[in-house]
Amino acid sequence: MVEVPSIPEPQKASLDAKHSALIIVDMQNDFVNERGQLYVGEAARRTIPNIKRLLEKARGSGATVVFTQDWHLEDDPEFPIWGKHAVANTWGSEIIEELRPLEGEIIIKKLRYDAFFGTSLDHVLRIKGIRNVVVTGTVSNICVLHTAASAALNLYRVYLPVDCVSALTEFDQLATLRQISFLYKGILTRSDLLEFVP
């Protein structure tokens, strides 16, 4: 039996909306809808109202909102690993209806796990003067973790609401919380504990 290292308890966070961004990672039909090609399961469905709560807070305060979309060509080299999923311009690649972006909100189409890799995300955040990123979405130990890691390595302050991320297994979820809090010094919080202050 492997002992799980201690993971900090979620804490309150009050962020300056002007310098903060909510990043919603890959909440797409192929991952979150039970008919999707890589359905994460009920864990992903349970995060929807929590992410929606943060989304409403961000929109109401004027914080920056960013959606990422996994976005693949028909012969993507990732498919031998995961099977075909999130093919560009298909139903599976669409962001779920419950979290549909508003006109003018930022959508980053990403080719790999990390939303910063090969995209304009860092450029957009710097133009907007962002210092804090709140990372939500799925899958915790894959695209969420790699995006949070890249944010930290690019010197953004990372906040992870634990009720707004989902993984395929409990082990994967706990490993993500440990890595983000321990290795990247991210702050663990919850959707009810985090506020964007105008």
Q: Active-site residues: which are they? A: 26, 110, 143
| 76-83 long-range Cβ contacts below 8 angstroms, 24+ apart | 76/111, 78/112, 82/38, 83/37, 83/38
Task: Tell me how long the chain is.
Answer: 198
**CA angle centred on 51, ends 64 and 65, rounded to 5°:** 10
Antiparallel, parallel or unpaired: β 64-70 and 157-161: unpaired
Question: Residue 93 contacts by C-beta under 8 Å, 6 or more apart in sequence?
Answer: 28, 29, 30, 69, 70, 71, 72, 86, 87
Residue for token digits 């130990």? 141
